[in-house]
Structure 1
Amino acid sequence: MNKERRLSSRRARPAGQGCAPSYSICAEIPRHIGVEFKGAGHDFSSLLREYLPTKLANVTYEPAKCASLTLALSEEIKHLVKQVTPPRYKLVVNVTIGNKSKDETVDIVVTSRCLWDPHSDNFTSSQYVNETLFCVVLVHAVYFE
């Protein structure tokens, strides 16, 4: 067997065939057994709709204050949503707070793109507006194998 290896390693390769051929794999992402989460997105969406007014109703927009408020809100929302999220899910929480003038309407679009499994991963968003600020929250729940 060692002689066969030596012989095969001594063979010259034809020109242009120094690399192994590449293949593209087109396979469907396997569904996870026992992962039932698609309906649960509505549960934490309602949690966010109840939570945001209680935290932001009496807050006025101040840039320095809202910077620390954004961090605190994202941590609190993560802990709140984690209580209703099945195990093995990783949560990503994005909180955006901005200034709202009394004379202007708020026209802002917050978007995100993710690569995920549509059978097991989920997301929700919620927003809150008062007289001086707006807040947009995005929560992504990604199944971790």
Structure 2
Amino acid sequence: MATSGLTANEKLTIEALKQHDKVHPTFRAKKKIPSSKGRREGTAESGGLSKRLLRVSTSDGPPGGIPLGSPSAKSGTNFSVFQVVHATRTWKRFTQQRRRATASRQYNLENTFRMEPREDGKFLPVTVENMIKRQLQFRLTDVTYSENCKEIAKDLSGEIKDRIKSLNFPRFKLVCNVIIMENKGQGIHVTSRSIWNAETDNFACYTFKNPSLIATAYVHGVYFE
């Protein structure tokens, strides 16, 4: 396409349209318009715009001589290049603003006034204890006590809590603690104290031993009223 006779703005517009193959409405080929009307025609060299003619205004007045609201514009036959580019950019800005507004929207939920868990949603100490047992045995069977046990205890606490969450105890706040100490045949006593509702809240605990270390993990399930 020869662009030697076009202005700088028209060249930039044609280049933008080459990179914007999905601009709607689709351009349609037009019959050659006499140069006396101030119009030029050209065929895109590559991409999806090949074999389509771009009508570019060469007048010094405002771009796009036909308003978008006119009957001719609605028919999709007389859109100017500048109108299509402007409409595309406006639509992109609108969709970006709408996404940001949706992402920042906050929902205020009303209180259910439920003071106790449902029968199928109660904290089950036996189930939780079995989960703790499997996780401690999986991670600590071949572990030797060292300084790295501090990080292992931290990781185990998060892993156990995540696995218990998968058991689906709705509206229960979970508190998980893991203690790892060296095993030298000594006695040890671990105790905890909590203020809770004995009818809805509960806990589970398990102690694991190997020749090098002793690990105790306990989980409290507190119902959120």
| Same fold per superposition (TM over 0.5) | yes
Matched residues in 1 for 2:139 and 2:117: separation? 38
Partner of 2:138: 54
Question: In structure 2, the residue corresponding to 1:75 is in which secondary structure?
Answer: helix
> What is residue 134 of structure 1 aligned with on the other side?
214
Q: Is the 8 A contact 1:37 1:122 kept in 2?
A: no
Alignment CA distance shift 1:33-1:123 (3 Å):
closer
Deviation >3 Å, runs of 4+: none
Please give the alpha-carbon distance, in whole angstroms, between the structure 2 residues aligned to 1:77 and 1:34.
Answer: 24
Q: Which of these two proteins has the greater Rg computed from alpha carbons?
A: 2
Change (3 A) 1:106 1:49: farther
Structure scoring higher RCO (CA < 8 A, sep ≥ 6) equals 1
Matched, 1:94 2:177: yes
Give the strand-richer structure, 1 or 2. 1
Q: Which amino acid aligns with 2:217?
A: V
> Residues 132 and 142 (structure 1 numbering): CA distance in 2 closer, same or farther, change over 3 Å?
same
Q: Indicate yes or no: 2:159 matched with 1:76.
A: yes
Paired with 1:46 and 1:34, the residues of 2 have a C-alpha distance of: 22
Given that 1:31 and 1:119 are in contact with CA atoms closer than 8 Å, whether structure 2 keeps it comes out as: no
Equivalent residue for 1:119, pick from 199, 203, 208: 199
Identity within the alignment, %:
33
> What SS is found at the alignment partner of 2:222?
strand
* Alpha-carbon shift at residue 106 of structure 1 (Å): 3.7
Contact 1:96 1:136 in 2 (8 A): yes
State the distance in 2 between where 1:113 and 1:85 align: 25
* Structure 1 alignment gaps of length 5 or more: 1-29
* Alignment length (residue pairs): 111
TM-score relative to the length of structure 2? 0.47
Query: Could you tell me whether the CA contact under 8 Å between 1:93 and 1:137 is conserved in 2?
Result: yes
| Gap regions ≥5 residues in structure 2 | 1-113
